[in-house]
Amino acid sequence: MARIALIPGDGIGPEVLAEAEKVLGRISEIEDLPLEFDRWPHGADRYLETGSGMEEEEIRRLGAEYDGILLGALGDPRVPGNEHARQILLGLRFQLDLYINLRPVRLLDRRLTPLRDIREEDLDLVIFRENTEGVYVGMGGVFRKGTPQEMAIQEDVNTRFGIERIVRAAFEHARDHDVDRVTLSDKANAMEHAGGLWRRVFQEVGEEFPDIEREALYVDMLAMDLVRRPSRYRVIVTGNLFGDILSDLAAQLAGGLGLAASANLHPGKAALFEPVHGSAPDIAGSGNANPLAAILTSALLLRHLGRRAAADRVEAAVRGAIGANETTADLGGALTTAETGDAVVRRLDSAA
Ligand code: NAD
Ligand code: IPM
Ligand code: MN
């Protein structure tokens, strides 16, 4: 029995997570995989009622008591600054030390890319985003607030320990998937202290993998080149902020945020799965949210549980639904969120 915590969250989060839950429910029958779900009602509503996003003790329990956590999205215009989202999302990532933010991008159907003349196999990469450091740590502050001399400092924290473990995760992934090159992305020309450390550690760790080529690219150049010739890239490792930005860009090359899945991992410890997209307040409640990112995210969860066949089956069903145009409007289809989830569920039996 695998225990899964569900945190639907805000906006389209509950809408897309309901579809992921449908898919997991059906796959657990087909693949004889008993799953038990607990729902955690944390999000903006609860924050506005109680003043609490998520307590440290709750985060500890989420990490200790579940085989996986599946989150919809967090963010609500009623909470200025989205304090609750930081508490919950960054709280989970930091407190559970989920140092790998794994963001795969794959072109599932040629028709979905805005790029000309590329084949499906030309866009198949994984971003290893460092998930516990960088500018996200919240170090810094404001001074002379509200005056014309106001200043703000947002520190960028990079430790050898933190860099080493994400770089090693990227090389191990490359080795295990027969990828012959790992690309580091940084801004070492302008940010020489952080960039220098990343490059030294990248080289040191990379030497343990002599069959894998190392390449270090400035992030601006990489953003450009991902659009120009995406097939060069298979494994990209980068810091927290650059990973955030590159993953939205890469997602759009493969059809958009409606398809982008992610996992936050600390091997042997806890794991949190979430679509890359946010709460999309502009379409919340309209029935237009694409649930496929959440569904593909649940496939990552199945893979994490060691259920490869189940994960493959979900991915094949998603591909089938896209191929038949049974999608929401962002992918050119005419279905609602729930109808798209149903289309995937219907295909699960035949997909393998
Ligand atoms: P967003 O990802 O919510 O939306 C960006 C654009 O993509 C919008 O036009 C939206 O309609 C569209 N979009 C996103 N997901 C979609 C889907 N599944 N189907 C169809 N269209 C989709 O990003 P944003 O607007 O910058 O942020 C909104 C809120 O979400 C903010 O509060 C932000 O902080 C938060 N956020 C949360 C997470 C998370 O919980 N993991 C991630 C990103 C942003
Ligand atoms: C993401 C989101 C978050 C991030 C925000 C909501 C803090 O954009 O998961 O990509 O920047 O990590
Ligand atoms: Mn993001």
Out of 210, 231, 259, pick the residue that ends a domain. 259
Question: Of all protein residues, whose CA lies closest to atom 9 belonging to ligand 2?
Answer: 276
240 and 190 assigned to the same domain: yes
Q: Is the pLDDT of residue 313 over 80?
A: yes
Q: How far is CA 269 from CA 7, 60, 64, 189, in A?
A: 19, 11, 8, 36
Answer yes or no: is the C-beta of 284 below 6 A from any ligand 1 atom.
Answer: no
182-193 pLDDT per residue, tens: 999 999 999 999
318 and 248 assigned to the same domain: no
312 classed as catalytic: no
Tokens of 287: 């029935």
d(CA 110, CA 92): 35
Query: Count of CB atoms within 10 A of residue 340's CB?
Result: 28
% of the chain exceeding 70 in pLDDT: 99
Number of domain units in the chain: 2
% of the chain exceeding 90 in pLDDT: 99
Answer yes or no: is the C-beta of 73 below 6 A from any ligand 1 atom.
Answer: yes
Which DSSP helix (H) or strand (E) runs through 197?
helix 192-206
Q: Which ligand is nearest to the CA of 81?
A: 1
From the list 67, 225, 248, 330, the catalytic residue is 248
What mean pLDDT do residues 4-30 have? 98
Query: Confidence class of residue 201 from pLDDT cuts 50, 70 and 90?
Result: very high
d(CA 154, CA 164): 23
152 and 237 assigned to the same domain: yes
Residue whose structure tokens are 């979430």: 274
Out of 200, 234, 259, pick the residue that ends a domain. 259
pTM of the model: 0.98
Nearest-atom number in ligand 2 for the CA of 74 is 6
Amino acid of residue 228: R
Of 166, 332, 289, 290, nearest to 239 by C-alpha is 166
Question: Of all protein residues, whose CA lies closest to atom 22 belonging to ligand 1?
Answer: 258
Answer yes or no: is the C-beta of 10 below 6 A from any ligand 2 atom.
Answer: no
Average pLDDT of the residues of the chain: 97
CA dihedral 94, 96, 100, 102 (to 10 degrees): -100
Answer yes or no: is the C-beta of 289 below 6 A from any ligand 1 atom.
Answer: yes
78 and 49 assigned to the same domain: yes
Q: Which residues of 101-133 are buried (b: 16+ CB within 10 A; e: fewer)?
A: bbbbbbbbbeebbebeebeeebbbbbbbbbbbb
Residue 350: what pLDDT?
Answer: 85
Q: Is the pLDDT of residue 149 over 70?
A: yes
75 and 139 assigned to the same domain: no
Question: Of all protein residues, whose CA lies closest to atom 7 belonging to ligand 2?
Answer: 86
Residue 272, classed as helix, strand or coil, is strand
176 and 250 assigned to the same domain: yes
Answer yes or no: is the C-beta of 122 below 6 A from any ligand 1 atom.
Answer: no
168-180 pLDDT per residue, tens: 999 999 999 999 9
How many angstroms separate the alpha carbon of residue 285 from the centre of ligand 2? 22
CA dihedral 190, 174, 158, 83 (to 10 degrees): 100
Question: Of all protein residues, whose CA lies closest to atom 25 belonging to ligand 1?
Answer: 280
198 and 338 assigned to the same domain: no
Query: Confidence class of residue 349 from pLDDT cuts 50, 70 and 90?
Result: confident
153 and 38 assigned to the same domain: no
187 classed as catalytic: yes
Query: Confidence class of residue 244 from pLDDT cuts 50, 70 and 90?
Result: very high
250-290 pLDDT per residue, tens: 999 999 999 999 999 999 999 999 999 999 999 999 999 99
Q: Is the pLDDT of residue 336 over 70?
A: yes
59 and 6 assigned to the same domain: yes
Answer yes or no: is the C-beta of 244 below 6 A from any ligand 2 atom.
Answer: yes
How many angstroms separate the alpha carbon of residue 29 from the centre of ligand 3? 33
CATH classification of the domain holding 212? 3.40.718.10
Answer yes or no: is the C-beta of 79 below 6 A from any ligand 1 atom.
Answer: no
Residues 6 or more apart whose Cβ sits within 8 Å of residue 232: 225
22 and 142 assigned to the same domain: no
What mean pLDDT do residues 151-165 have? 98
Domain enclosing residue 321, as ranges: 1-99+266-352
Residue 351: what pLDDT?
Answer: 67
Out of 218, 244, 259, pick the residue that ends a domain. 259
211 and 321 assigned to the same domain: no
Residue 352: what pLDDT?
Answer: 58
124 and 72 assigned to the same domain: no
